[in-house]
Amino acid sequence: EVQLLESGGGLVQPGGSLRLSCAASGFTFSSYAMSWVRQAPGKGLEWVSGISGSGGGTYYADTLKGRFTISRDNSKNTLYLQMNSLRADDTAVYYCAKPTNTLVVLNAFDIWGQGTMVTVSS
C-alpha cells in the first residue's frame, strides 16, 4: 500500500525552527518528485515547496522568502522540510504529497499523508 507519514510538528515560538519529515512506503520513492502543502486552520490549501526525484531541483512558493528548505534522503525514503524564522502565519497542518506520475514535478497529487500540525505561538 502506498503511504506517506508525516512527523515533526508541534508548538514552536515565533522565530524558532522546526524540521518536518515524511516517510514514504509502497512506491519507488526516488522516481517521484514530492511536495509539501499546508493548510492554516479554517483556511484553504497552499502549495509550499517541491523537490525533484533526485533532489537536484527544489522549488518554493514566493511567499516563503527563503525561510524554508526542502530536501530528501532517497536511501531512507524520506522527505524533509526545514522551517526557520517561523511566524504565527506559518501555523498550519503540513501535508506531504506524491504526484500522479513520475513525469511531472508539479501537477496533481494522488497520495497525501495525514498531515502534521505546526503551531507557532509564544
User: Which residues of the shown chain bind another protein in the complex (CB under 8 A)?
Assistant: 35, 37, 44-47, 50, 57, 59, 61-63, 95, 100, 104-110, 112-115
| Greatest Cα-to-Cα distance within the chain, rounded to the nearest angstrom | 43
CB of residue 47 to another protein, shortest distance in Å: 4
CB of residue 13 to another protein, shortest distance in Å: 26
CB of residue 105 to another protein, shortest distance in Å: 6
Name, in order, each residue with C-beta under 8 angstroms of 108's C-beta and a sequence gap of 6 or more.
99, 100
CA distance 95 to 6: 7
Nearer of residues 16 and 112 to another protein, judged by Cβ: 112
- CB contact at 8 A, 89 and 40: yes
